[in-house]
Every structure is written in C-alpha cells, then in structure tokens.
Structure 1
Amino acid sequence: MTRFRLRSGVVGVALLALAASSCASDKAGDGGAGTGADGVKHGPGVTDDTITLGLITDLTGPYAPIGKSLSQAAQLYYDEINLGGGICGRQVETLVRDMSYDAQKTAVAYTELEPKVAALPQFLGSTTIASVRDRLEASGPLTLALAWAPSVLGAKPIQMTGTTYAIDVINGVDHLVKDRGLKKGDKIGHVYLEGDYGDDSVAGSKYAADKLGLSVVEQKVKPTDADMSSQVSALKQAGVKAIILSIAPKQTASFVGVAATAGLKVPVLGSNSAFAPQLLATDAGPAFLGDFAVLQAASPLSADLPIMKTIIAGYSDKFPKDGLDNGVMAGYTSAMVVGDALKKACENKDLSRDGIIAAHRSQNAWDGGFGSTMDFTDPAQPPTRKTYLLKPDPKAAGGLTVQKDNFTSDLAAAYPVTAG
C-alpha cells in the first residue's frame, strides 16, 4: 500500500513521467468535422483510426497521489478496450495533463487539449472545473467531473458520477437517527473545510438536523489547519452525540486520533473525501477501526462484484508497485462511463462532440456492474441519491468494506439540489 505522504522529488519525477507518457501524440487526435470511411460522423479527437481522450488531473499538487491512481486506472480501462479491438473500430488514445490543482494551469491545459480530444473522462476538482466552466458549457466535450459539489451540475457536457456531498451527509444523519439512536434535541458536530466541499456538506447536515429535530454544532477549518485538537475539545464540551467530518484525510487522522485520546466516544462519519486508506498505516490507524464510517456513493473495491475483481487484478498486474486506493475505482468508473457513451454514439454513427453528449444523456439506468444505477438524463441533478456506509478495514482491498448497503433516505430523496 502506498504511503499517503510521498516524497515530493520522487513523486514529481514519477508523475511527470506519467503525463509525458500519454499514449497519444499531440497531433494524433486532430480529427475534425466530417464523415469517416465507415459512415460514422467525426468530431474533434476522432479519425478513421483513433479516438483521442483527455485527462486533466493533479500529478504534482495537493491531490497528486489520488490523481496518479485516477489516471492509471483510466489508462487500464482503455488498454483493456484496445486489446478487445477498440471502440467503433478505432484505438483509444489518451493525453494526460497535470494542472497541479491550479486554476491558471488548468486553463492552459484545457486550452491545449480542447481541440484535440473527443471527450474528457477525467477532470479533477470543482475549483479547477469552475475556471473553465463557461467554455465547457459553450462548446466543450463530454467531461466527467471528479468532484461532488453542486457547482459542477447544470451544464450538458459536464457529468458528475455519484451524488453531492450534501446528499451523502443527509443520508448519514438519517442513519444516525434510525440506526444509532439519536433523538430530537440531540446535537451533532460537523467539522468542515471552507469552500465547495465543506459548504455543501454542512448544508446537508443542517437540512437533515432541522427536519429531524436535531441541532448542528459547526466547526469550520482551513486547508492549512493540521491539528484538530481545538475542534475535538469544542465538540466534546458541547456534548455532541455524533460527528460528521468534511475535511481532508490528514485532518481526519488528526481528529480521530485526538478524539480517541480525549475519550470522545461517539459515532463519527467521514464525508466522501475525508478518508484515504493510506491513513490506516499511520499512527491514527487504530482509531479508524473504532466507531468511524465513511459516507460514499460508490461501492468499495472490496465489494463482492465481478467488476471489482477485474479492476483489482488488472491494476495490480499493470501497476504492481502502487497500492489500491479510492482513486482506482473512481478513475476506472469515469473511463467506463465515457467508453459506454462512445460505444452508443458509434451505434448512432455520430462521434461528433454533440453526438457523444447526446448518446451519454440518453442513458437513464447506467450501472457498469458497480451496483449503483445512475440516471444521466438531467444535467441539473446528481445521477443518484444513494449512499453507502463503509467501514475501514486494513485487510480489505482499497481499505473499505460495506457496513450498510447503498440507500436513499426520504430526506435525501426530497432534498432540493440547486445546480451551478
């Protein structure tokens, strides 16, 4: 298993090599409007022989470890596709660009890739997507957003997989009441990062608390805050009966470690990005095996599903020196979503940009074998409102196992999501 904190020099060399070793040449995908010899309509990134796709990710910034696994998993999927003959008789090639989670670098990467690619199976981060959202909405290709804030919703070319942070939290609070004994008048603590992730998450906890007669004790933190001691102390003094964390993984490790030492023994739910399996190998690892669970729309790699076994075997074989983490399944899933859209567009004989988006948006029950049916027809709404409750397990592939199968509470089903 890889360590969560990697040496910057080694990581920089290795991840820049990943970006440089993209399968497509910079000119390979310069297809334009027209019709191929097989009668299939072309668009940017499509020729008679190739379909070129772009991955805009973080290989040298704060999310470099997950950016690497996201990109490698996508490449694994397309390599498998190519071994089977490609899509529409064309080999799939990828161009990987590192934006270091920086808005200016994102704009440069998008400007370069936009005319060369048929779709973007990976675009990491709501903040970076926001820097080019107007351009994506106007003429951009089908784009899979690796972000779960409602700000990424509402544009026809942009697709979120899974559900929003708020809906995950609403389902989590409902679970605390129905399954963990919280009752009217109880307080729940919510530690959250400033920004899209935390703001949407706390909106969910406040909505659910209001409907269920609870109250929320808020603790907002900054990305640079490393020690969660004061937050633990404040929530313990407030007498909270449960806690939700919408913070970065290292902050989560600090919180659960300090809470264990301080004797704050209440259920703790980590919202989506709050946990990384690499944390199980740190000093805080034992604390995660207590009353801690993760709220996530996606099934874990350890789920008893054929597709998971395929991903684990393929990834371990192709990248034997790298461990399995949350990014592996997310990268593979988003690559498959775009792959299926391309296959459907091929059936329609239209691999233009509009044709690919239309093919994708026609799917109202996509599953892919992952156990989570998604409806892609409405750009303004998340494709699912179901949430898994996952338990950390150092022996499990990917470090998580299913504690409660995916479910949608009545509150989450009724929650009004505002796109954009």
Structure 2
Amino acid sequence: MVSMKAVPVVAVAAMLTLTACGGSGSDASAGADGVKMGIGVTDTEINLALLSDYSGPLAQAATSGTVGMQVQVDAVNAAGGVCDRKLVLHKMDTKYDPQVATQQYRAINNKVVMMPQLVGTPAMMAIKDNIAKDNMPTFASSLNTAAIKLDKVSIYTPPFEVELINGLVWAAQEAGASATNPLKVAVITPADQYGTIYADAVKFAADKIDGVEVVASPAYTPTDNDFTAQVADLKKSGAQVVILGNTMAQTASIVGQSAQLDFKPKWVGYSAAWNAALAKPLAGLLDNFYVSASYGVLADEVPGIADMKTALAEYAPNEEPSNFQVVGWLSGVATQAVLEKACEKKDLTRDGVLAAMEDLEIDFGGILPAVNLKDGDSIVSYETRMNRVDAAGMMIPVADFKAAGEAKAWGAANGF
C-alpha cells in the first residue's frame, strides 16, 4: 500500500469531485510570494488540525501532548512562523469516540492543510477512509503498525510493537535468561485485533530468546474496571515479568489489584501504558515498574529538551510537567520540518505536504535519534530506551537507545 506517493492524473470530472470533498489541492492558487497554496493555507496562515481526546479516558495525557505541540508552535510563530506564515492549531475533541471523531474530522477537513496530531486508534480507524479520500497528510499519535499501513498516514517514531519487543529483550537480559535460567513472561493486552498483534509480537520475540517462555496472555475489554480475573491468571502462571500492552487507563487497576493479591512481578510497559498522573494512585508500588519508550524524557540534557523547557516557561508556565508534553513537542518538530520542506519546494498544498513527507530527514534535537520518514509505509527506527519511574511518576532512563535484533526480525517478518 502506498501512503504518500504521487497521485496519478485523472479525469477532470473526477478531480472536481475530489476537490469538493476537500481533496488534493487542485484548487490551488499562488501566494504573493509565489508559493502554491491550497486548502487551509493563506498568505498569512497555515491551518492544522489536532484530533485528540480532551474529555475522554485519555484526556489528561492527550491534553499534555497538545500543550507540548502548542508551545512548540508558539515558539516557531514567535520566530516568524514557517514560510512567513503563522501556524494555527484547531483543536478538535474526539472524546475517544469513533463517531465523535468522524464528526469532528468532517467539521474541520475543509479548513486545514494537514493533521499533525491524531490521537487514538479508534479515531484513526474511524476516519482512515476519509483521510485517504481527502488526501489529508496525517501524523498518527497512535504509534502502532496499523497506522503505518494506512494511506496518507505516517508515524515518526518506532511503533508500539517495537517498544514492547525491546522491553521484553531488556527484561530478559536483566534477568540473565537462558536455557538453564528460564524466565516466565506474561503479556496483557486489549481483546481486539491490535491487542492480538501486540501479544503476537511479544510471543514472536520470546521464541527467539533462549530461556524465555510466555506463560499467560490475558486480555481485557475497554469497559473492564475489575481486573481480578486477569490478575489471577497472571499470578497462577508464575510470570516473573509482565509486559503491559494496555493503555494508561488500565495500568492503575492492573498493578493495584496485583498488589492486593500479593502478585509482584517486574512490570514492563510501553509508552502508552504510563502517565505521570498514575504515580499517586500507585504510590509504593512502582519500585519494579519500567517503561520502554521510543522518545526521551524531561530529565534529558539535550538541546531539544532544553528548547522545550524554555518554550513551556514562556508560553505555558502554569502547566505541570508531563512526558506527554515531550510527545507533543515532537509532533511540532516533525510538522515544522515537513512544512519547511514544502515551503522550499514552493508547494503548500496537501499534495505538496505529502511530497515533503516522503524521504524526510527529521532531527529531534537529541530527544530521540534522527529519523527518515522513508515512504511512509516502513518502520522509521527500531531504537527505544528503557526507563524507570520515580515517586513523582517521571520517567528516568536506565539504558541507552538500542534496537533489539528480535524487533528487527519481527519487522522484517511482517513486511516493514
């Protein structure tokens, strides 16, 4: 499947139909500076859509992510914007509801050139056909490989599956797993097709590591509040390490109920399983809790984090620190890089932005290793880093960025 390749020439009637749907930018006009402009772009503005969960189960983290992007955009605008145009963010609340996401997308589609922050797999899958039809350049914040396969959708970090595999490999190495020193591992995931993919990725990696056995893989539904059955399954299996393939909405219940049943494994989550706000309800239960993440943390002493902290102090001084602000900042950096390349090519239509995304090199100021977006259908990097969490819930690195061979093997086996 092609995500960002050039659209072939079609009949005039078909192009008119596409344009009426908010399509590729065939309604383009030249700006005063000679830059080709289409939907969402004027001589003074570049309009961008954020579809996120501002009042649903992921609201706290999603809102922090938008804060990170907003301060990055504020800093860019203060320096003159992109292509001498101010970036304008339109924040649309999906409530983590696919129907609401569809409504919000339709409401903003004909007003923006790009969607640089799409949060939530349910929202992404609900509007994926619209994104393709409308030729909407999109960065998904749902960092799973389902996003990579979608038309006009890209991610600029390693996907969740790679975080999970790298987390398992790290845990096995820490335990010294071998044929003579076996390690029992369990994985908990949603009871849907994405959870199945996450569990299968963990099992794939476990099969390649001497001494590692997946002994349980309980699943949950989005409406589950009581995880007693899943925790009992985990405890009965004798798992020494539990890989958390759930979202942050379930982490507190899973870890808390495990403590009540006196089940205390090493917890290894991926980036979507942790939020600093969980530190308070899980106080005293985080000594053996780790997060495999594809990006850096607020404690990093790198130029990108320094720039972000400066922008936060200037434009959002009252915001509580959160590592999801880092995620949002990265969205802003990636979007700026795309738009600057499109500006250099004198084409700020959707077609121009999609062309700029292809084979784009992005430097994130050391927050994560630089990446190349390639063709939009490939995993851009396999490097992630392990973190512990402190009493305040902030992630603290315990290892350097590293790509596990098992993750690369999984990517190759799945066509990435």
TM-score range, shorter chain: 0.7 to 0.9
Distance in 2 between the 1:295 and 1:188 partners?
16
Distance in 2 between residues matched to 1:159 and 1:118, nearest whole Å: 15
With normalisation by structure 1, the TM-score equals 0.86
CA contact (8 A) 1:153 1:419 kept: no
TM-score if structure 2 supplies the norm length? 0.86
CA contact (8 A) 1:156 1:357 kept: no
313-322 or 302-311, larger mean C-alpha shift = 313-322
- 2:16: which partner in 1? none
Question: Equivalent of 2:72, from 66, 77, 86?
Answer: 77
Deviation at residue 153 of structure 1 after TM alignment:
1.2
1:54-73 equivalence runs, <5 A = 54-73=49-68
- Report SS of the residue matched to 1:406: coil
CA distance in 1, matches of 2:26, 2:111: 7
Cα displacement (A) at 1:182? 2.3
**1:86 aligned partner:** 81
Name the CA distance, whole Å, in 2 between partners of 1:47 and 1:172. 45
1:363 pairs with 2:352 = no
Query: Quick check: 1:172 aligned with 2:171?
Result: no
Cα offset, 1:317, TM superposition: 4.3
Whole-angstrom distance in 2 between the partners of 1:230 and 1:183: 30
- The answer as to 2:203 corresponding to 1:206 is yes
Give the unaligned 5+ runs of structure 1. Answer: 1-29
> Does residue 245 of structure 1 match 2:244?
yes
Structure number with greater CO (CA < 8 Å, separation at least 6) is 2
Q: Give the equivalent residue in structure 1 for 2:284.
A: 286
Structure 1 residues 87, 196: CA separation in 2 closer, same or farther (over 3 Å shift)?
Answer: farther
Shift of residue 144, structure 1, vs aligned partner: 1.1
Match of 1:50 among 40, 45, 52: 45
Is the 8 Å Cα contact of residues 364 and 376 (structure 1) preserved in structure 2?
yes
Q: Tell me which amino acid in the other structure corresponds to 1:402.
A: P
Spell out the pairing of 1:179-218 with structure 2 (5 A cutoff): 179-184=174-179, 185-195=182-192, 197-213=194-210, 214-216=212-214, 217-218=216-217
Whole-angstrom distance in 1 between the partners of 2:232 and 2:226: 12
Residue 103 of structure 2 is aligned to residue 108 of structure 1: yes
- The 1:298/1:196 distance shift into structure 2, 3 A limit, reads farther
Secondary structure in structure 1 of the residue aligned to 2:372: coil
Q: Is the 8 A contact 2:302 2:365 kept in 1?
A: no
User: Cα offset for 1:291?
Assistant: 1.5
Alignment of 1:126-141 (within 5 A): 126-141=121-136
Which of 366, 371, 375 is equivalent to 1:378? Answer: 375
Q: Where do 1:221-260 residues align within 5 Å?
A: 221-260=220-259
Separation in 2 of the partners of 1:120 and 1:298? 21
SS in 1 for 2:49: strand
Identity over aligned pairs, percent:
27
What are the superposed Cα offsets for residues 240-282 of structure 1, whole Å, 9 maximum, x if unpaired? 2211112233532233334345443432201221111111122
Provide the secondary structure at the position in 2 that maps to 1:286: coil
Correspondence 1:151-170 to 2 at 5 A: 151-170=146-165
Residue 83 of structure 1, CA deviation:
0.8
Distance 1:365 1:36 in 2: 27
Corresponding residue of 1:332: 329
Q: Secondary structure at the match of 1:209?
A: helix
Structure 1 residues 1-80: aligned runs within 5 Å:
32-80=27-75
CA contact (8 A) 2:372 2:380 kept: yes
SS at match of 2:347: coil
Are the equivalent residues in 1 in contact too, given 2:207–2:213 (CA < 8 A)? Answer: yes
Paired residue for 2:9?
none
Distance, in Å, in 2 between the alignment partners of 1:199 and 1:263 is 28
Q: Which residue of 1 aligns with 2:296?
A: 299
Partner SS, residue 380 of structure 1: coil
Paired residue for 2:7? Answer: none
1:265 and 1:60 mapped to 2: Cα distance? 33
Displacement of 1:64 in angstroms is 1.5
Residue 364 and residue 392 in structure 1: after superposition, are their counterparts in 2 closer, same or farther (change >3 A)?
same
- Give the whole-Å Cα distance in 2 for the aligned partners of 1:334 and 1:250: 22
> Which AA in structure 2 matches 1:286?
G
Tell me if structure 2 keeps the 8 A contact 1:52–1:95.
yes
Q: For this pair of structures, how many residues does the alignment match?
A: 387
Question: 2-side partners of 1:400 and 1:32: how far apart?
Answer: 47
Q: What is the aligned partner in structure 2 of residue 344 from structure 1?
A: 341
Give the secondary-structure state (helix, strand or coil) at the position aligned to 1:356. Answer: helix
Contact 2:188/2:244 (8 A) holds in 1: yes
Paired position in structure 2 for 1:309: 306
CA distance in 1, matches of 2:222, 2:323: 20
Cα distance in 2 for partners of 1:419, 1:312 equals 38
CA distance 1:311–1:364, shift in 2 (3 Å): closer
Separation in 2, partners of 1:60, 1:141:
25
Question: What code does the residue aligned with 2:114 have?
Answer: A
Matches of 1:196 and 1:110, distance apart in 2:
24
CA drift at 1:316: 4.3
Q: Distance in 2 between matches of 1:393 and 1:404?
A: 15
Q: Structure 2: how far apart are the matches of 1:176 and 1:348?
A: 46
Which amino acid is 2:238 matched to?
G
* Counterpart residue number, 1:271: 270
Deviation at 1:231, TM superposition (A): 2.9
Match of 1:218, as an amino acid?
S
- Contact 1:142 1:157 (C-alpha < 8 Å) held by counterparts: yes
Q: CA deviation at 1:344?
A: 1.0
Query: 1: distance between equivalents of 2:270 and 2:193?
Result: 13
Partner of 2:22: none
Question: Does the 8 Å CA contact 1:114/1:140 hold for their aligned counterparts?
Answer: no
Structure 1 position 146, deviation (Å) = 0.7
How many Å separate the matches in 1 of 2:60 and 2:124?
A: 19
